[in-house]
Structure 1
Amino acid sequence: MTDSSDGSGSSSAASANALIDYAESAIVEDDALVAARGRAEELGAAAVAPAVGALLALLARSCDAHAVVEIGTGAGVSGLWLLNGMAADGVLTTIDPEPEHHRAARQSFASAEIAPGRTRLINGTPREVLPRLADASYDLVFVDGPLIDHPRHVTEAVRMLRPGGVVVVHNATADGAVADPTRTDPPAAAAREAALLIADDERLLPVVIPLGAGVLAAAKAR
């Protein structure tokens, strides 16, 4: 057992927190993203942290994403980041059951001068919509719905991904509950199940990234 009585444990935790703070502060959002974040706050719609948004853009660019699915539109913050990294002719399909979220997202996309043909906003629950989306047809799937639904959404995401595509799960740590063995509540259990689905799939190469609420990303074998 490691003895952290000399304060080294506290020092390491402080250094880790400082690194995360730096990662967040290093990202400067443009006017369209700042406005979209303001709409999210007004609606009470959760939005990804700037560093998570930058990661989404990077992953979209890395896999040359032309077709992306987003589960959880919100006010369009994560959608704008994804579009920033996608190919110029790429199309973002974003799913949300709340009409006010779609109205806010449309404002956000219009303010960023995103061509209408580059976004497909679907009003409905992911449970209803995802089974209708084609197999092996998407370059990236971003899972940002309720934690309790993550296992179902991950299963659908892997089905929809083309070879070489990437699945990204937001809040994969369930706000830190996954690492606490005493947490057996449904959201924590669902987050663990989703992580295991990815870890046990030999086609996927996963990584956990400690940004925002925790990101789990995995690339599908080519």
Structure 2
Amino acid sequence: MRVPASNGYSHAQARTQQSPENAPRPSCGQQGQERVITGNRQTSWAFADAFSAEEDALRWARDRSREAGLRPVSPGTGAALRMLAATAAAKAVVEIGTGTGVSGIHLLHGMRPDGVLTTVDTEPERQQFARQAFRAAGFASNRARMIPGRALDVLPRLTDSGYDLVFCDADRTEYLDCLDESLRLLRPGGLVCFEGVFADGRTVGSGPQPAEVLRIRELARTVRESQDLVPALLPVGDGLLCAVRR
């Protein structure tokens, strides 16, 4: 798990910043408050990301993910997805990027007991690991519909306005196209979520950036400026961009 940098503060500096003799006085106002927040940010983010305990099936899926050279969602991101699925009382969810089942387990836990997860991945072998993980987590085989293939080939075949939540964790260069498809798939009040929008800090970095980062920036602008969406960027894992379709 990678934790976002804290603007140059080391752990030692953070501890010094928190000590009573170095703590900003109340008279410092907003500037003093900002220094305290900055000094504690790295520790706070790490604590938040590890807040929710994960079961054996999730740990097994994470191990398979590491062996495959993948980077699954962090525990904090998984917990956020679980909560969002529960908040939406989601019965039908689309997941773009099955991986080895880490995010799928979180989504299934948050969904209604009769809900079905439709999960798409270009690698069928990974989906076999996900099947095992779902079964180990206690989910019946009919709770997940696994479709092998490229997302932009599969999504057009899914039902318009038939889904409560769409979660994207695949090729970042295709995120904008996935947004268009997601808005078609979602019912009014449905949620779309994109994983990895911080791009390890490169999204807000200066200087030339690869096409992936440029596309993520374009996605963020599009979501923020859309009149059809109510957005929020959650600082969990490597950044979770979420929006509700009006």
Runs of 4+ displaced beyond 6 Å: 6-10
Matched residue, 1:174: 199
Matched residue, 1:218: 243
Matched residue, 2:39: 14
- In the alignment, which of 34, 59, 64 is matched to residue 84 of structure 2? 59
Q: Distance in 1 between matches of 2:87 and 2:77?
A: 15
* 1:95-130 Cα distance to aligned partner (Å, 9 max, x none): 001021111101101111211111000000002101
CA RMSD of aligned residues (A): 1.7
* 1:43-95 Cα distance to aligned partner (Å, 9 max, x none): 12221000100000000000100000000000000000000000000000000
Q: Which amino acid aligns with 1:47?
A: P
- For the residue of structure 2 that corresponds to 1:94, the secondary structure is strand
Matched residue, 1:116: 141
Q: Distance in 1 between matches of 2:195 and 2:142?
A: 26
Largest Rg, 1 or 2: 2
Q: Is residue 2:212 matched to residue 1:187?
A: yes
Instruction: Output aligned runs, 1:82-121, within 5 Å.
Output: 82-121=107-146
Matched residue, 1:77: 102
Q: Which moved more, 1:151-160 or 1:66-75?
A: 151-160
Matched residue, 1:30: 55
Q: Distance in 1 between matches of 2:115 and 2:187?
A: 15
- For the residue of structure 2 that corresponds to 1:175, the secondary structure is helix
Give the deviation of 1:7 after TM superposition.
10
Matched residue, 1:202: 227
Q: Is residue 2:173 matched to residue 1:161?
A: no
Identity of aligned residues (%): 41
Matched residue, 1:3: none
Contact 1:136 1:162 in 2 (8 A): yes
Q: Which amino acid aligns with 1:197?
A: T
Give the deviation of 1:10 after TM superposition.
6.9
Q: Distance in 1 between matches of 2:35 and 2:167?
A: 34
Q: Distance in 1 between matches of 2:180 and 2:206?
A: 24
Q: Distance in 2 between matches of 1:136 and 1:201?
A: 18
Q: Which amino acid aligns with 2:195?
A: H
- In the alignment, which of 159, 162, 174 is matched to residue 137 of structure 1? 162
Give the deviation of 1:14 after TM superposition.
3.3
Q: Distance in 1 between matches of 2:160 and 2:223?
A: 17
